[in-house]
């Protein structure tokens, strides 16, 4: 009879490196990043500058802190495949559950103004706008969505990776960490500058979404599946909006 084997014994902060400083360092660095993004994000006028600042602060800076400051592995902060079967299952269910709300949301004037006549009409350095009011540029759409995919990867790593798994090593525990990371996530969907804030319904919904994605990250030990769900929802909303205008506007293809 084969002997039963056990998984690796959980390690403490001290065994992983960084002593008991993980929680405080995560809270301090995360708080500074959130404060900076909240103040400066409305000031970036181009798609590329906004993405450059956000990806740098939400991915590269936390990685430097993890590797050089805390001397730990990114896998301890959710950068691992974790429970792949469970993660993919719930990511798919999350996306399916969002389809009807997305259709309803896309019919609202606030959503159309912010996305269709806002983000999707902004000029992109390499391709021009995705939607110019008369055409949908598929080349620009591909460039835009690929950029959004990387941007959301960085945001998910920051909130459901760096912040969540770092704060879990404090007295907050898993539940407290999930709730705590949801607050700044929702806050960054709002803006102090008129016209820069996302629609009110999305701001409120982002708090609930952050909790669900946080619970998924804790359960699967990975932020990757929340990232897939988040990107899929964003891409789907864009396609719904563009499909509706595509019924009466011309589609401009590659080349």
Q: What is the pLDDT of residues 128-147, one digit of tens each?
A: 999 998 889 999 999 999 99
Tokens of 13: 């902060």
Please state the φ and ψ torsions of residue 153, each to the nearest 5 degrees.
-60, -45
How many whole angstroms separate alpha carbon 21 and alpha carbon 15? 12
CA distance 49 to 43: 10
| Predicted confidence (pLDDT) at residue 18 exceeds the cutoff of 80 | no
The model's pTM: 0.89
- Name the β-bridge partners of 252: 137
Q: What was the pLDDT predicted at 252? A: 56
Q: What are 19-44's pLDDT values in tens digits?
A: 489 999 999 999 999 999 999 999 98
**What's the mean per-residue pLDDT of the chain?**
90
Sequence ranges of the domains in the chain: 23-35+47-68+83-252
d(CA 30, CA 181): 9
């Amino acid at each position: 009879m084969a002997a039963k084997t056990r998984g690796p014994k959980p390690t403490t902060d001290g065994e992983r490196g960084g002593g008991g400083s993980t929680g405080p360092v995560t809270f301090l660095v995360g708080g500074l990043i959130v404060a900076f993004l909240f103040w400066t994000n409305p000031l970036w006028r181009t798609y590329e500058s906004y993405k450059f600042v956000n990806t740098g602060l939400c991915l590269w800076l936390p990685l430097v802190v993890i590797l050089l400051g805390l001397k730990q592995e990114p896998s301890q902060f959710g950068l691992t495949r974790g429970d792949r079967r469970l993660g993919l299952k719930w990511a798919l269910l999350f996306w399916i559950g969002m389809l009807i709300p997305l259709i309803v949301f896309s019919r609202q004037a606030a959503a159309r103004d912010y996305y269709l006549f806002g983000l999707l009409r902004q000029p992109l350095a390499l391709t021009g706008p995705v939607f110019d009011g008369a055409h949908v540029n598929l080349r620009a759409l591909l460039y835009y969505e690929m950029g959004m995919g990387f941007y959301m990867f960085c945001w998910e790593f920051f909130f459901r990776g760096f912040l969540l798994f770092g704060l879990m090593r404090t007295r907050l525990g898993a539940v407290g960490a999930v709730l705590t990371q949801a607050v700044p996530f929702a806050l960054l969907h709002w803006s102090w500058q008129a016209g820069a804030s996302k629609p009110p319904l999305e701001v409120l919904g982002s708090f609930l979404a952050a909790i669900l994605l946080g619970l998924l990250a804790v359960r699967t030990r990975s932020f990757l599946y929340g990232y897939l769900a988040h990107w899929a929802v964003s891409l789907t909303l864009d396609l719904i909006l563009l499909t509706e205008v595509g019924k009466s506007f011309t589609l401009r293809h590659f080349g």
